[in-house]
Amino acid sequence: MTTETREPQGREAARPPFYRDVRVIRVVGQLVAVIVVFGIAYWLVNNLISNMNRLGISTSFDFLLGPTNTAIPYHESFDIRSPVWQMTLVGIKNTFLAAIFGVILASIVGLMVGVSRLSENWLVARLATFYVEFFRNIPPLVLIIFFGFAVFTFGPFPIFSESWELKVPGSDNSFLIINNDRWGVPGFTATGSLVLFWAILAAGVVLAAYMWRRRTKHFEQTGQPHHRVLWFTGVVLVSLVVAYIASGQPLDMSWPVISENRRRVDGGFIANWGWISVTFALGLYTASHLGEIIRGSILAVHQGQSEAANAVALSAFQRYRFVVLPQAMRIALPPTINQYLNLVKNTSLGTAVGYAEITALTKTSVGNGRPAFQSFIIVMAVYLTFSLSISLILNVVNRRLQLESR
């Protein structure tokens, strides 16, 4: 009886006091950490708001509804009386344009450089090494400024009134207009509502993706050729035609044409020098990093894989396309995500060449008396959204690509 009552007491006594109990410390430690972090955040925000109130600085976002009052570079049709949020949208669009084309350029050049670095051809390998060492070691801001000034300001291109034009025979329209300020290529203009067009096209892309998976499954089950690229492209093209006709042909081909006073390029898709400088400088800069990532990833694929590919008589191209690169991509993807994110953030350097991206426009807007704090909160939110979207998409891809370990 006595022993029975004592035993639990003994166990109790054997336990360390609560302040040395690992289980307690663990929970309390985390609680404290959470409280400290939130406490500091609360204190900072509270401090900021009370200070702003004390100084009579507005903490509201009403300024977004007020007029912009400044012109946006290379957006001549932008009404300066439009509300500030429309200016913000233009900035977001421009940031997106620089980021997306930069990513595409960086990926293509980076892949080429990465593979070339490992080439057995002495010249190709050395050129790729030179490329990497050159671009990797120059700060992106310097590259952007250099691009803007070396290529456009002091570059070989003529001034606006003396633009080079590659004319469509028998008309004023051009295939290509080039000067030191902007380049024009053929594009499209909307003549009606595009909602139906995009809806049908989106449905087509979904269908194409479905076909891709079906063909893949078919191949896996039967071993017959899948032709999934062919199928995918075919479905997309057909849906493009269907969408165009079904929505009442809402798009017109538009050719760039130089205005009579030779100061405007009307129609077509027009690229301004700021955008070209930012896209190329950042694309080529990021490509040097991607090249190294891809080279490292290829080297990380086991030597035996290449040897096995050689053993079954695959050509060098086939060896890369079907054996080495698919495995290398798996390794390359996580660091590549980082590089893409860097590229997106680096577009904010476009302000150096007067490119009207979100940071540049916000700086101008703040300089003209809009509240700095709220304006930059919006800028932060924009970059965060861009970066998180890229992360999200690529992380999904990454998870799909990883080897399933069983």
* Under rule CB under 8 A, residue 209 binds another protein: no
Residues 176-205 that bind another protein (CB under 8 A): 180-181
Smallest separation (angstroms) from another protein to the CB of 76: 5
Q: Which is nearer to another protein, 69 or 305 (CB)?
A: 69
Instruction: Output the smallest distance, CB 270 to another protein, in A.
Output: 11
Q: Is 8 in the site for another protein (CB under 8 A)?
A: no
156 lies in the binding site for another protein (CB under 8 A): no
Q: Is 10 in the site for another protein (CB under 8 A)?
A: no
Which one of 147-155, 204-212, 313-321, 377-385 is the stretch in contact with another protein (CB under 8 A)?
147-155
**69 part of the interface to another protein, by CB under 8 A:** yes
AA letter at 236: V
Which two three-digit tokens encode residue 193? Answer: 């509502």
Measured from the CB of residue 20, what is the shortest distance to another protein in angstroms?
A: 11
Residue 92 beta carbon to another protein: minimum distance, rounded to whole angstroms: 18
Binding characters for another protein, 241-260, by CB under 8 A (x = yes): ------------------x-
Geometric angle at alpha carbon 391, from 207 and 198, rounded to 5°: 30
In this structure, which amino acid lies at residue 339? Q
Q: Is 376 in the site for another protein (CB under 8 A)?
A: no
| Segment interacting with another protein (CB under 8 A) among 210-218, 342-350, 356-364, 374-382 | 356-364
Closest CB 374 distance from another protein, rounded Å: 15
**Do residues 19 and 29 make contact, with C-beta atoms less than 8 angstroms apart?**
no
265 CB-contact burial (10 Å; exposed 0-12 / middle 13-18 / buried 19+): buried
Q: Among 152, 280, 340, 386, indicate the residue that binds another protein (CB under 8 A).
A: 152
Q: Name the one range near another protein by CB under 8 A: 208-216, 332-340, 351-359, 381-389.
A: 351-359
Cα(73)–Cα(77) distance, integer angstroms:
10
- Whole-number minimum distance, CB 67 to another protein, in Å? 10
**Cβ closer to another protein: 152 or 320?**
152
Query: Based on CB atoms, which residue is closest to another protein, 214 or 263?
Result: 263
Residues 6+ apart with CB under 8 A from 200: 239, 242, 243, 246, 247
CA distances (Å), origin 70, targets 347, 361, 378: 22, 10, 19
Measured CA to CA, the distance from residue 94 to residue 11 in angstroms comes to: 69
Q: How far apart, in whole angstroms, are the C-alpha atoms of residue 335 and residue 391?
A: 11
Give the range of 89-97, 144-152, 168-176, 302-310 binding another protein by CB under 8 A. Answer: 144-152
Residue 386 to residues 97, 360, 381, Cα–Cα distance (Å): 12, 17, 9
Q: Which of residues 311-350 bind another protein (CB under 8 A)?
A: none
Structure tokens, 23: 């289980």
Residues 79-138 that bind another protein (CB under 8 A): 80-81
> Are 349 and 406 contacting, i.e. CB atoms less than 8 angstroms apart?
no
The one-letter amino acid at 375: S
Nearer to another protein among residue 332 and residue 361 (C-beta): 361
Which region, judged by CB under 8 A, interacts with another protein, from 66-74, 113-121, 247-255, 340-348? 66-74
Q: Which residue has the tokens 């093209």?
A: 237
* Closest of 379, 346, 385 to residue 362, by C-alpha: 379
Judging by DSSP bridges, how do beta strands 174-178 and 164-167 pair with one another?
A: antiparallel
Q: Which long-range contacts (CB under 8 A, 24 or more apart) does 157-165 make?
A: 160/262, 160/263, 161/262, 161/263, 163/258, 163/262, 163/265, 165/258
Query: Total binding residues for another protein by CB under 8 A?
Result: 42
Q: Which residues of the shown chain bind another protein in the complex (CB under 8 A)?
A: 18-19, 23-24, 27-28, 31-32, 35, 69-74, 76, 80-81, 145, 149, 152-154, 159-160, 180-181, 259, 261, 263-264, 273, 351-352, 354, 360, 363-364, 366-369
